[in-house]
Amino acid sequence: MKRRDFIKSSLALYALGSYLPTALLGSKNRFSYRNSNIDSDRIVILIKMNGGNDGLNTLIPFQNSSYYQERPAIAIPSEQSLPITDTLALHPALENWQRFFEQQRLAIIQGVGYDNGNLSHFRSSDIWDTGSNEDIELTTGWLGRLLELEYPGFPDNAPEHPLAIQYNSANLLEFKTETSNTGLYLYDPNTMYSIISGNYIDNLNSNIPETYGGDELAFVRELDHMSFNYSQIISEAAQNAPNTIMNYPNTNIGQQFKITAQLIAGGLSTPFYRLYQNGYDTHVEQLYSHELLLSDLSDAINVFFNEMDALELLDRIIIITTSEFGRRVYENASEGTDHGTSAPVFVFGSGLNGGIFGDDPDLTSLDNNGNLHVQFDYRQIYTTIMKNWLGLNANAIDQIFSDNFQTIPFLDDTLHSQPKTGPNGFSLNGIYPNPFNSSSMISYTLPKNQRVIIRLFDMTGRVLKVTRLGKQKAGSHLFKLDGKGLSSGNYIAQVEIEGSSLTQKISLIK
């Protein structure tokens, strides 16, 4: 009891301000070295509709007679569905989403999946989590790889705030790196800290044997240590949240949104949240259960949206639904649907291009298994988020997926570093690779013959290197920037011509 009392009183102290979490407000780089791929305070909230959401009963092709023919028992009657275009309507439980759509705050991407869709829940979830092709098994998550690019060597260079929070207890693939997991499982932040700290034994740094047993011990220790550190930060953020927290539905998904809202409002800089809603594997009598699920989800998103709007945080946030697959076009004999392939993805936010992307599903042209064709690869969604929402450069994205995937214009390319252009056609085209190890190439274009000076600064503005190149001809040039003598970290490269200069941030990893 004593220990818990002590924890309570120390938490109270934090709230009173003796340890005011200035650290919570954006000083991402304080503890650790970080790469510069992500350059924003933007937040991505992913919701897994677990089990395979029935896309056709969520976004209903309500003018399509095939839909009613294939689903005599479970089609949503057209007069009950909520039209959003001439041919498409939302499930009657999604009134809020209909409003978001009208407000241009909902983008719907049709027919998302991947080639040769796998109909196993487990395999297909793994594919979505790892970002692989159907025939390739990866052991790291797409977000694990992204975050490891940002924080090389994680967890050694673990940042002050958790990189990702997940509300599912399984040790999921999505945030997994080769050696660790960047995702932190979270439940009630208030009790989390007291339980963790009350049972934490500071690491004795004893040797870990080089055996499989040692590997597992290292894993448990690391998780023990990281949970201890993060639990304090999270508890502070939750305490720091304003008291205007709205009335969230008392459902599992509602509570996940509530905690997410507290943490964002409380200043946690975590960029990724993964929420879960179970129950979408609707093989049997799906009408009632599906409606309940959608209505829970819709309510939760609605409250969260309103709250983030009121706190003026909404423009930092994007919400994306994912599901391992859609469902079969025709119903089965149990008034349910079996596993399918593609389904729509729903994206919510105030800073996106609302509307429908892609064509209405063609219910007559199906694959060999009677499933819908895929219009967009799921990694096009991921790529759009990384490039247009988080501002990752092409080099970084190349390291996350084996292929290039085209973006989908539900987000504008606002953050991504365009070639920087100075007066009269002078431009800094980019620095590749970035981050770099031994050397990197600076690409620039001169409008006319002129003198060029290249400088390298550290982040405090101190000049580290100056190279005077003399007069160069008009046209494109490459300059090789040598990392010799520099330590790992962030730098600014500057290309100067007479009367004008352009700069770009680069990172060196030794």
Partner 1 sequence: MNINKQEPITDIDPQNRSNQQSLDINWDIQSATHLLKRTVTGPNLEEVNALINNGMETSIQGLLADQELPSPPGAWVDEELPDWSSLSSDERQAIIQTYYSRMRTFQKWWANRIMNGGINITEVMTLFWHSYFASAYSKVFYPQAMYQQNNIFRTFCMGNFKNLLRQVTFGPAMMIWLDISGSKKQAPNENFARELMELFTLGVDNYSQSDVVAASHAFTGYVTNGVETNYDFDTMEGWGYWWTDWHDFDDKTFMGQTGPWTGDDIINMILDRDECALHICKKLYKWFLYDHVDLDFIDGMADVLRSNNYEIKPALEYLFSSEHFYDPTFYGANVQNPVQLYLGTIKRLKMEEQPFDTDYFTEIQNHLDMILFEPPDVNGWLGYRAWINSNTLPLRKAMLCALINHESPFGSFGNYLNIPSVAQSLVNDNDDRYHIIQIIDNLVLLFLGIEINETLSEQLLNIALDGAEPYDWNINLPAYNAQWSRFEDLLMYIIRLPEFQLS
Positions 188 through 207 that interact with partner 1 (CB under 8 A): 191-192, 194-196, 198-201, 204, 206-207
**Which is nearer to partner 1, 335 or 360 (by Cβ)?**
335
Residue 444 CB, nearest approach to partner 1 (Å): 47
**Which is nearer to partner 1, 273 or 444 (by Cβ)?**
273
Residue 53 CB, nearest approach to partner 1 (Å): 16
Please name the residue ranges forming H helices in 93-211. Answer: 95-102, 121-130, 142-150, 189-198
Q: Please give the structure tokens belonging to residue 97.
A: 């989403």
Q: Which amino acid is at 221?
A: R
Our finding on whether 226 is near partner 1 (CB under 8 A) is: yes
Q: Which amino acid is at 396?
A: A
Residue 189 CB, nearest approach to partner 1 (Å): 11
**Which is nearer to partner 1, 90 or 374 (by Cβ)?**
374
Sign, Cα dihedral of 344, 349, 355, 357 = negative
| Strands ordered across the beta sheet of 427-432 | 420-421, 427-432, 439-446, 475-482
Directed axis angle between helix 252-265 and helix 212-240, to 10°?
A: 70
**Which is nearer to partner 1, 16 or 220 (by Cβ)?**
220
Positions 335 through 394 that interact with partner 1 (CB under 8 A): 336, 338-339, 368-369
Our finding on whether 448 is near partner 1 (CB under 8 A) is: no
How many helices (H) and strands (E) would you count in the chain?
11, 20
Pairing of strands 106-113, 355-357: parallel
Name the one residue in this structure whose structure tokens are 């859609």. 326
* Count of residues of this chain found to bind partner 1 when the rule CB under 8 A is applied: 55
Q: Please give the structure tokens belonging to residue 87.
A: 């041919």
CA–CA separation, 447 and 458 (whole Å): 28
Q: Please give the structure tokens belonging to residue 191.
A: 């009790």
Sole window of 151-159, 187-195, 267-275, 418-426 interacting with partner 1 (rule: CB under 8 A): 187-195
Contact track, partner 1, 408-447, x by CB under 8 A = ----------------------------------------
**Which is nearer to partner 1, 225 or 455 (by Cβ)?**
225
CA–CA separation, 243 and 261 (whole Å): 11
* Under 8 Å between Cβ of 508 and 439: no
Q: Please give the structure tokens belonging to residue 139.
A: 């052991």
Contact track, partner 1, 268-297, x by CB under 8 A = ---------------xx-------------
Our finding on whether 469 is near partner 1 (CB under 8 A) is: no
Out of 121, 373, 477, 505, which residue is the one contacting partner 1 (CB under 8 A)?
121
Residue 194 CB, nearest approach to partner 1 (Å): 7
**Which is nearer to partner 1, 223 or 453 (by Cβ)?**
223
Positions 135 through 174 that interact with partner 1 (CB under 8 A): 169-171
Sole window of 208-216, 240-248, 346-354, 420-428 interacting with partner 1 (rule: CB under 8 A): 208-216
Q: Would you tell me how many other CB atoms lie within 10 Å of the CB of residue 419? A: 12
Positions 305 through 344 that interact with partner 1 (CB under 8 A): 330-334, 336, 338-339
Burial label, 256 (beta-carbon count in 10 A; 0-12, 13-18, 19+): buried
**Which residues, 6+ apart, have CB-to-CB distance to 429 below 8 Å?**
419, 443, 444, 445, 476
**Contacts with partner 1, residue ranges (CB under 8 A):** 1, 118-123, 169-171, 184-187, 191-192, 194-196, 198-201, 204, 206-207, 209, 211-217, 219-221, 223-224, 226-227, 230-231, 283-284, 330-334, 336, 338-339, 368-369
